[in-house]
Amino acid sequence: MNNASEAEISTERSAYTQSKEPGPYTVPGFRQYTANLGVRDASDDFLCIVSEGDVRSDGVFTQSHFAGPSVLICRRHVGANPRALVAISKNANVGNGPPGLDDANALVAAAARELALPPSAFFLASTGVIGRRYPIDKMLAGMKGFGARLGQADFGAAARAIMTTDAFAKVSKRRAGAATIVGIAKGVGMIEPNMATLFAFFFTDAAIESDALRRTFRSTIDRTFNSLSIDTDTSTSDTALIFANGLAGAVAPSPSARSLDEVALELTQMIAIDGEGATKIIEVRVHGASDDVSAKIVAKAIVNSPLVKTAVHGADPNWGRILMAIGKCRDVRVDPDRVSIAFGDERVYPSFDRPVDLARVTRIMDAAKVVVKVDLGIANGAATVWGCDLSDGYIAINSSYST
Amino acid sequence: MNNASEAEISTERSAYTQSKEPGPYTVPGFRQYTANLGVRDASDDFLCIVSEGDVRSDGVFTQSHFAGPSVLICRRHVGANPRALVAISKNANVGNGPPGLDDANALVAAAARELALPPSAFFLASTGVIGRRYPIDKMLAGMKGFGARLGQADFGAAARAIMTTDAFAKVSKRRAGAATIVGIAKGVGMIEPNMATLFAFFFTDAAIESDALRRTFRSTIDRTFNSLSIDTDTSTSDTALIFANGLAGAVAPSPSARSLDEVALELTQMIAIDGEGATKIIEVRVHGASDDVSAKIVAKAIVNSPLVKTAVHGADPNWGRILMAIGKCRDVRVDPDRVSIAFGDERVYPSFDRPVDLARVTRIMDAAKVVVKVDLGIANGAATVWGCDLSDGYIAINSSYST
């Protein structure tokens, strides 16, 4: 059906799985430990990363009403510049009531004893099945003595330790002056299968003050991970964290913000290309909206439409579905007479005044990244969002038994 | 994988494809004509239904910004109690600019000449591919003389004439005192393939005043078709109409409203079971919300979640996904400690105080209709919505070429 061969697609896709900056992926001053605690199987399910000295740190978390104990603990600690992270995979510890909160507190207390830090120095992140208790005794036993076995941070290994059904470890790096910024992420992985959870953790030796860190970090997350949607479903455990230990000294704010953006954007596209059943990245750029918020609403309506996603999957130049998706954004100002829509640089609407080269649109839709451009023609609001196509692979992954 | 055999499922499903009241499906005083005008292929693509005398009529339409000329014409005429309907299938005539509006006006003018009625006596409905012009000359030629060939309304035939890729014709009937109410619907059909469009047309010989008709009709549509979601995508052409010719005289308001509800609900479930790739109806009942609007937001978040839909498809008792879907409704008041969730009569959350019988949940999820009940435990807001599971059939239908 597609014009591009499987091999071409595969080569094209692989461009989105690797950091443009080569490894090693480490940052001075961070130490790390990974292990299997028997949460579910024999693969690594425990990651601890800790800064040797004080850090500035920040975090943003799922807004789900059912945010689990890990997220609740992070929210309690986030104002105190935690310097350590414990991440558990294969069990989200969500929906387990008071016993689940007790388990989470016990994990943090054990890690705090090992590293001789107060519990408030820790972020905790958990991903996996909902409604099942941790095997907490086994986990606490496995953590005994890990504080003495920390090594230099190796974020490639850290990214592998938080993988679930991710097809590849997601790590990205950029330089910012004398400093390094590394990010790792996981998702849209399934545990057994369960729901996708997004983790994104960033580490840098740049010196950044708390206010600037918070402002820069939240702006970056908003324009990258918060502009990504695989399937419209929001996990109870989504967590993004940043740690800056200052060892490389101050760097100019603008390049460091740009480097952080680039790391986050690279990870965002890695998540998209590794979405459940995904074969392509969809990038939707909306401009000409009455404001940026309106642009993002329209862009998300397009990237989330199952009819658009399936059309992209089949490289079907069915541009009426883009028009439909814009049309359903009732709360946004849209004037149909001013709208124009393009796939790549091929305009498909309006088209009643000229023919659309549908064969060319099909070729554009055959790429590993399909760019949809919408101009609402009203004002200067703009937004770019990312997602992926919807394939039978998604159905196969998500319709099988969790038990 | 499933406990129910294919044959059992098929028998169960067929219960949702037929009206509980047997035919004939006609209403005194309505006449009809169906034909092929060559819009796309050789199957019927033209339906005209007209009341012999004056009627009270009403309509509700898609809220899409890109509503097509058919919807624009309906909106212009709806206040004048139109007595006739022309429905075109295989081409939505949307996204065609001024020429598309000219074509729609020409169709109405031709039908008006045939029936010796003013254009304002007509509703027009079109469904099919977007962005392609009608073969208008051929269509106008085919309409010549149809006014002399009208026969008694046969709503079974009418329902067949508006079918696209619907697997069965959707017609439902109820009595209301001396009067009859018949409804027909189409969807979630594909034209070539393109997007699903929903048509729902109701005919009755009950005498109902305009205000009462409007109030009753809109309330019914809100609780039935507007509580249905197959894939979150809103067509540019959705149209629901009702015609009441009064020949059976006045009927008690309450039974006639109940009969209309029953017809609409029967059609709604027919649409759900015939959703693209659907194998099951999902019915989500939310109560205990702070108000009805909040209940509907939560219910729709559940029925639209691709993770819930795929879990239902595979009869996977993965109830954490229901919790996730409730959790993402940020604009609704939710207190996790007060929420309870059940599949049928099997409670799955909270479950940390008692075991869930997952095998029983799987059996409940194997039925042709899966009922999810959520009690938010806050106040008395309630809503029920319908949808369908998400299968590889949906992907196959929607990822193939439109060209």
Per residue in A141-163, pLDDT (tens digit) is 999 999 999 999 999 999 999 98
Supply the ipTM of this predicted assembly. 0.85
Q: What's the whole-number mean pLDDT along residues A62-68?
A: 87
HSE, CB side, 13 Å, CA atoms: give it for residue A393. 14
CB A255 within 8 Å of CB A176:
yes
Nearest to B233 among A324, A334, A402 (CB): A324
| CA nearest neighbour of A282 among A251, A260, A306 | A306
User: Is B340's pLDDT higher than 90?
Assistant: yes
CB B181 within 8 Å of CB B218:
no
Hey, which residues of A are catalytic here? 197
Q: Is B20 exposed, middle or buried (0-12, 13-18, 19+ CB in 10 A)?
A: exposed
Distance CA B327, CA B322 (A): 8
Q: How far is CA B331 from CA B286, B294, B334, in A?
A: 16, 8, 9
CB B158 within 8 Å of CB B23:
no
Distance CA B88, CA B48 (A): 9
Q: What is the token pair recorded at B210?
A: 């305009």
Confidence of residue B217 (pLDDT cuts 50, 70, 90): very high
Distance CA A215, CA A166 (A): 30
| CA nearest neighbour of A337 among B134, B101, B65, B106 | B65
Distance CA B385, CA B382 (A): 10
Q: What is the token pair recorded at A333?
A: 């100002």
Residue B229: the pLDDT is 82
Q: To which H or E segment does residue B84 belong?
A: strand B84-91
* Tokens 């097509």, located at residue: B68
Nearest to A99 among B133, B195, B352 (CB): B352
Confidence of residue B188 (pLDDT cuts 50, 70, 90): low
**A392/B contact by beta carbon, under 8 A:** yes
Does the beta-carbon distance from B395 to A396 stay under 8 Å?
no
Can the peptide bond before residue A255 be classed as cis, meaning omega within 30 degrees of 0? no
Residue B8: the pLDDT is 59
Q: ∠A253-A254-A256 over CA atoms, to 5°?
A: 65
Nearest to B401 among A99, A314, A353 (CB): A314
Residues of B within 8 A of A232 (CB-CB) are: 232, 304-306
Distance CA B261, CA B273 (A): 18
Residues of A within 8 A of B394 (CB-CB) are: 306, 310, 395
Q: ∠A120-A122-A123 over CA atoms, to 5°?
A: 120
Point out which residues pair with B182 in neighbouring strands: B173, B203
Distance CA A272, CA B227 (A): 31
Distance CA A15, CA A280 (A): 12
| CA nearest neighbour of B273 among B310, B228, B305, B307 | B228
Nearest chain A residue (CA) to B358: A403
Residue A111: the pLDDT is 98
Nearest to A194 among B234, B318, B329 (CB): B318
**A137/B contact by beta carbon, under 8 A:** no
Residue A192: the pLDDT is 30
Contact residues, B window 19-48, toward A, CB-based 8 Å cutoff: none
Distance CA B102, CA A82 (A): 66
CB A65 within 8 Å of CB A72:
no
Residue A63: the pLDDT is 83
Nearest chain B residue (CA) to A348: B131
Residues of B within 8 A of A390 (CB-CB) are: 395, 399
Distance CA B200, CA A157 (A): 57
Q: What is the token pair recorded at A217?
A: 């970090």
Q: How far is CA A239 from CA A62, A106, A367, in A?
A: 6, 20, 31
Does the beta-carbon distance from B131 to A97 stay under 8 Å?
no
Distance CA A355, CA A245 (A): 57
Residues of B within 8 A of A278 (CB-CB) are: none
How far A96 CA lies from chain B's nearest CA (Å)? 5
- Residue B140: partners with Cβ closer than 8 Å, 6 or more residues away: B106, B107, B110
Nearest chain A residue (CA) to B190: A307
Does the beta-carbon distance from A394 to B306 stay under 8 Å?
yes
Contact residues, A window 167-186, toward B, CB-based 8 Å cutoff: none
Q: To which H or E segment does residue B58 belong?
A: strand B56-61
A-interface mutation test, from B1, B66, B279, B389, most A Cβ less than 10 A away: B66
A-interface mutation test, from B229, B324, B341, most A Cβ less than 10 A away: B324
Residue B10, Ramachandran bin (φ over 0: left; ψ between -120 and 50: alpha; else beta): alpha
Which tens digit of pLDDT belongs to each residue from A355-373? 889 999 999 999 999 999 9
CB A77 within 8 Å of CB A123:
yes
| CA nearest neighbour of A51 among A103, A99, A108, A123 | A123
Confidence of residue A12 (pLDDT cuts 50, 70, 90): confident
CB B305 within 8 Å of CB B232:
no
Helices H / strands E in chain A, number of each: 12, 15
Which tens digit of pLDDT belongs to each residue from B196-216? 568 889 999 999 999 999 999
A-interface mutation test, from B329, B398, B400, B403, most A Cβ less than 10 A away: B398
Mean residue pLDDT of chain A comes to 89
Contact residues, A window 195-234, toward B, CB-based 8 Å cutoff: 195, 231-234
Distance CA B142, CA B36 (A): 8
Residues of B within 8 A of A350 (CB-CB) are: 95, 97
CB A182 within 8 Å of CB A201:
no
Distance CA A66, CA B325 (A): 10
CB B146 within 8 Å of CB B44:
no
**B314/A contact by beta carbon, under 8 A:** yes
Residue A396: the pLDDT is 87
- B209 phi and psi angles, rounded to 5 deg: -70, 155
Q: How far is CA B282 from CA A182, B159, B302, B313, in A?
A: 44, 24, 10, 10
Question: For B101-223, where are the E strands, in sequence order?
Answer: 122-129, 151-152, 170-176, 179-186, 199-204
How many Cβ contacts (< 8 angstroms) between chains A and B? 236
Q: In B243-305, which ranges are continuous DSSP H helix?
A: 253-273, 292-304
Distance CA A72, CA B100 (A): 56
Rg (CA), chain A: 22
Does the beta-carbon distance from B326 to A65 stay under 8 Å?
yes
Q: What is the token pair recorded at B8?
A: 């059992």
Which tens digit of pLDDT belongs to each residue from A126-141? 988 888 899 999 999 9
Q: What is the token pair recorded at B51?
A: 């009341």
Q: What is the token pair recorded at A47?
A: 């990651």
Query: Which of A4-13, A233-242, A379-388 is the least confident region?
Result: A4-13
Q: What is the token pair recorded at A38?
A: 């028997």
Contact residues, B window 317-356, toward A, CB-based 8 Å cutoff: 317-321, 323-330, 334-336, 348-353
Q: What's the whole-number mean pLDDT along residues B302-312?
A: 92
Distance CA A196, CA A277 (A): 12
Nearest chain A residue (CA) to B323: A66
Nearest chain B residue (CA) to A129: B320
Residue B32: the pLDDT is 97
- A270 phi and psi angles, rounded to 5 deg: -65, -40
Residues recorded for chain B: 403
Query: Which of A280-289, B54-63, B148-157 is the least confident region?
Result: B54-63
CB B366 within 8 Å of CB B312:
no
Q: How far is CA B49 from CA B29, B146, B292, in A?
A: 10, 12, 36
Distance CA A342, CA A356 (A): 10
Residue B401: the pLDDT is 54
* Four-CA torsion A358, A359, A361, A362, nearest 10 degrees: 120
Distance CA A378, CA A363 (A): 30
Q: What is the token pair recorded at A131?
A: 């409604």
Residue B195: the pLDDT is 39
Which tens digit of pLDDT belongs to each residue from B232-289? 777 788 888 999 999 999 988 888 899 999 999 999 888 888 888 889 999 999 999 9
Does the beta-carbon distance from B327 to A67 stay under 8 Å?
yes
Hey, which residues of B are catalytic here? 197
Residue B311: the pLDDT is 93
User: Is B21's pLDDT higher than 80?
Assistant: yes
Q: Is B106 exposed, middle or buried (0-12, 13-18, 19+ CB in 10 A)?
A: middle
